[in-house]
Amino acid sequence: MSLRRVRYYGDPVLKSRAKEITEFDASLADLAADMRETMKAYNGVGLAANQIGVLQRILVVDVPQQDAPRATYTLVNPVIVFREGQEKGEEGCLSIPGVWDDVVRAKRIHVRAVDETGKPVEVEAEGYLARAIQHEVDHLDGVLFVDRLSLLKRQFLRRDLEAIARGELPEDQQPPKEASGG
């Protein structure tokens, strides 16, 4: 396993659509393990492959839940087959450090995917887990949470976003030291 370097706002890979995965081999298992390790090292609750520069449809989530163990999933080729309700909630993104804002998402979703071995996975999610999965599936389609904000809010965030694109990260948002290329 190795830590991968997280790509930041301004990197074209974050605006690209990831491709369906067709090979369930050892390199996919390695990618999934690296993504889980990287998510943990960056203290994230989710990570999509685009964020480490890999245009393949795989995401990982690890979300704390009330009165239940953390919800941990590795989802390959995920499809949201059902959405219900709407809910506004705050989101951030490992690729846009220091920026947080409210985003409207479906309240409940049903996701159909497979895991890194090709085994089917069905997830019924609501609340924070549903939000995290929708955020990560957006990444696979080349969409960032700031793309879902109003024009006014995006204008308000423009300076921060441009600074990140220039590689100027906020002091308290530096990547983990051991993170290297990927």
Binding site for Zn ion (CB under 5 A): 93
The catalytic position among 136, 162, 168, 171 is: 136
Closest residue (Cβ) to Zn ion?
93
CB of 150 to Zn ion, least distance (A): 19
Q: List, as own/partner pairs, every contact residues 37-45 make where C-beta atoms lie below 8 angstroms and the sequence separation is at least 24, other chains included.
A: 37/1, 37/2, 37/3, 38/3, 38/4, 38/6, 38/179, 38/182, 39/94, 41/3, 41/176, 41/178, 41/179, 42/6, 42/94, 42/175, 42/176, 42/179, 44/94, 45/128, 45/132
CB of 43 to Zn ion, least distance (A): 13
CB of 51 to Zn ion, least distance (A): 6
Active site residue 20: no
Q: CA dist 45 to 58, 60, 125, 131, Å?
A: 15, 8, 15, 11
Q: Which is nearer to Zn ion, 118 or 127 (CB)?
A: 127
Q: Which is nearer to Zn ion, 88 or 122 (CB)?
A: 88
Q: Which is nearer to Zn ion, 93 or 109 (CB)?
A: 93
Q: How many CA atoms lie within 13 A of 50 on its CB side?
A: 27
Q: Which is nearer to Zn ion, 9 or 123 (CB)?
A: 9
CB of 145 to Zn ion, least distance (A): 6
Q: Could you give the residue ranges of the DSSP H alpha helices within the chain?
A: 26-41, 127-140, 151-165
Task: Indicate which residues carry an active-site annotation.
Answer: 136
